[in-house]
């Protein structure tokens, strides 16, 4: 099976992640796979946190809360700091998967719309370019 599951998290929109979080937790519990909640933040203040350090603390708290709520035995968090997270997101997530030994990414998607006819979705771009398995949950 898989060695570790990476779960990309957008702390500004956690309410939209429920199905992906539950799916990843189910896989983790069923096969005894540890999980790594991963998020990318900018170097500048944002809506979630004023500093990358504050963001990392919030991600760690989120990971611990989800781990307890979903009954996971092994969960960690990994914060990526990048000057332009929007432009670098998929590249940074692929690097994080490698750096943390994750060979499966379980991530939330969104309902496609007109925008996707011009721009790739984050999940689609990651699935296209990653050399690890990517499970996109809509």
Q: How far apart are CA 120 and CA 82, in angstroms?
A: 20
Distance CA 19, CA 111 (A): 13
Domains of the chain: 5-137 (3.40.50.620)
Residues with Cβ within 8 Å of 63's Cβ and at least 6 positions away in sequence, in order, are 37, 75, 76, 77
Query: Backbone phi, then psi, for 125, in 5-degree steps?
Result: -65, -40
- What is the predicted pLDDT for the residue at 128? 87
Q: What does the alpha-carbon distance between residue 21 and residue 24 come to, in Å, rounded to a whole number?
A: 5
pTM score = 0.90
Give the pLDDT confidence of 81-136 residue by residue, as tens digits.
Answer: 999 998 999 999 999 999 999 999 999 986 555 444 444 578 888 888 899 999 99
Could you tell me what percent of the chain has a pLDDT over 90? 81
Kindly give, in sequence order, each residue whose CB lies less than 8 Å from that of residue 61, ignoring residues fewer than 6 positions away: none
pLDDT recorded at residue 89: 92
Residue 136 CA, chain-centre distance (Å), reads 11
């Amino acid at each position: 099976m898989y060695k570790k599951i990476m779960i990309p998290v957008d702390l500004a929109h956690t309410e939209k992640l429920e199905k992906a979080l539950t799916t990843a937790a189910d896989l983790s519990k069923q096969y005894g796979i540890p999980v790594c909640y991963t998020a990318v933040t900018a170097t500048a203040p944002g809506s979630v946190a004023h500093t990358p350090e504050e963001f990392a603390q919030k991600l760690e708290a989120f990971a611990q809360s989800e781990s307890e709520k979903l009954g996971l035995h092994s969960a960690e968090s990994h914060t990526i700091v990048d000057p332009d997270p929007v432009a670098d997101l998929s590249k940074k997530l692929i690097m994080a998967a490698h750096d943390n030994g994750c060979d499966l990414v379980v991530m939330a998607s969104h309902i496609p719309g007109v925008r996707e006819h011009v721009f790739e979705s984050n999940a689609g771009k990651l699935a296209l370019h990653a050399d690890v398995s990517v499970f996109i949950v809509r």
